[in-house]
Structure 1
């Protein structure tokens, strides 16, 4: 299989994001655009932070979900949540790209890391938005997602805000919800093929959207599985900013999902996007 590769950011990407026909899909790599102190910005770094707080066997020290499962099994779920809260207590200052995205008329912003940076940018933009996070079944059995308003208060359901910030793996703010251990993901992946863990409003809105992947890598099964299911029945087209040569599995994923790779550094894509004028 082959997939398309571009060496410049297409005008169609900028125009689609500005018009709300393309949705941002964010990964931990976006933290590299932030100045100052930032929380762990990839699974290996996060595993290192967790295992510095709680000792785990050496063979799983760099495997985030396995290390988290060990902590949960032998030190209790509360210990794992506390360690995650401490790891993401550092508040990154939103980058110009975060702030630009927060000003868009985006029906959905998908954020697949645990930091609060995109939430902080949306709060500052003071638009009409709400957040929905994936919930661990070990803490919220039978309830797959939780909704929150800009102040962090729990919402009984979404009232169709202009923008939905969707964090399928949970997040630090406002309630310390994390999908991070092996069992967390097994529970969700058991149901995700039939879309149960994906909020109905996200399913509804994606039908008219394509996705732009920013700061994402797909060299592991988990991010591929979630992206595949979030994209299901979406309109497209889809783009991924990735300067690095994709791995064999990433290239296969891009080809299977019809994702056009934009082979430029994320910082260059951010500069091009932030230099675009938002519609009135």
Structure 2
């Protein structure tokens, strides 16, 4: 499978999809690398009922309801705006010559830092409807400047429709997509129950998915690293982001998968790699170093 993954990468047909567990590769200075670690920081900053103290989305919703949305944004920003360097794996991915799309399904900015070595790239982040009503995606250039969406009107109704993507975003050679938002540049966070309800209400018809993502993913294979698919939110986002892509994918999923994970992998034709993230990354990068096509940049 390593050879197949590297071959797809060499053809520009692989989309890495990173989850929170990848942050463990960045060392002790990295931001929270799991929902459990993140909810611990939220509940340390605000009192939350005991029964939801370990539930990230419910705890965030409680704080938003009783403390204000600004409290959530402040705590999330503090958790992820840390002085952490990208891991070697982040840097290795960013240096691949054919990398049309990267998905980072967490809130950190380590891939942004790693991508500074590239030209002609940009960022698309999911946005909370409580802060950007009617705007599902925020677009940014590498320097952090925002690119406004192109407004349009619903046919015949006179109401505003979700904004079209700015034309320049469709021309980037590399797009970093953060469906849950991100600490940088705009401090967008999809984290509370209401945030997810808004997105999931529309995601089946692809409204929150950027146009460039929908275009790039056609015929591509996804490589999931540092992700789990144990709960409905994780599966729903992965399913909708990889919609209309190829019929061959991979996921690094160490340990015994849950029944729901097994069903999801079978449903989406995702081959499971039973290996720790650390061991997989070591084998992947070693394989690239031995590949004639990738040797010069491995």
Instruction: Name the TM-score, length of structure 1 as normaliser.
Output: 0.94
Q: Distance in 2 between matches of 1:93 and 1:274?
A: 19
CA contact (8 A) 2:2 2:284 kept: no
The residue aligned with 2:107 is: 114
Q: Distance in 1 between matches of 2:197 and 2:226?
A: 25
Q: Distance in 2 between matches of 1:243 and 1:36?
A: 22
SS in 2 for 1:24: strand
SS in 2 for 1:147: strand
- Taking only aligned residues, the RMSD between alpha carbons, in angstroms, comes to 1.2
Residue 159 of structure 1, CA deviation: 4.3
The residue aligned with 1:183 is: 194
2:180 paired residue among 144, 148, 169: 169
CA contact (8 A) 1:31 1:92 kept: no
With 214-223 and 151-160 compared, the bigger mean Cα shift is at 151-160
CA contact (8 A) 1:211 1:236 kept: no
The residue aligned with 1:77 is: 69
SS in 1 for 2:31: coil
Residue 271 of structure 1, CA deviation: 1.1
CA contact (8 A) 1:217 1:223 kept: yes
With 36-45 and 47-56 compared, the bigger mean Cα shift is at 36-45
CA contact (8 A) 1:91 1:116 kept: no
The residue aligned with 2:212 is: 201
The residue aligned with 2:142 is: 150
CA contact (8 A) 2:86 2:113 kept: yes
Larger Rg: 2
SS in 1 for 2:257: coil
CA contact (8 A) 2:32 2:38 kept: yes
Q: Distance in 1 between matches of 2:10 and 2:112?
A: 19
With 84-93 and 65-74 compared, the bigger mean Cα shift is at 84-93
How many residues are paired up?
271
The residue aligned with 1:4 is: none
**Structure 1 stretches of 5 or more lacking a match?**
1-8
Residue 115 of structure 1, CA deviation: 0.6
1:47 paired residue among 31, 39, 42: 39
Alignment of 1:228-267 (within 5 A): 228-267=239-278
- Give the structure, 1 or 2, with the largest relative contact order (CA under 8 Å, sep 6 or more): 1
CA contact (8 A) 1:110 1:165 kept: yes
CA contact (8 A) 1:97 1:273 kept: no
Deviations for 1:54-79, whole angstroms, at most 9, x for unmatched residues? 11101000100000000100000011
Q: Does 1:141 align with 2:152?
A: no
Q: Does 1:34 align with 2:26?
A: yes
Q: Does 1:130 align with 2:122?
A: yes
Q: Distance in 1 between matches of 2:273 and 2:119?
A: 30
Q: Distance in 2 between matches of 1:242 and 1:92?
A: 25
SS in 1 for 2:24: helix
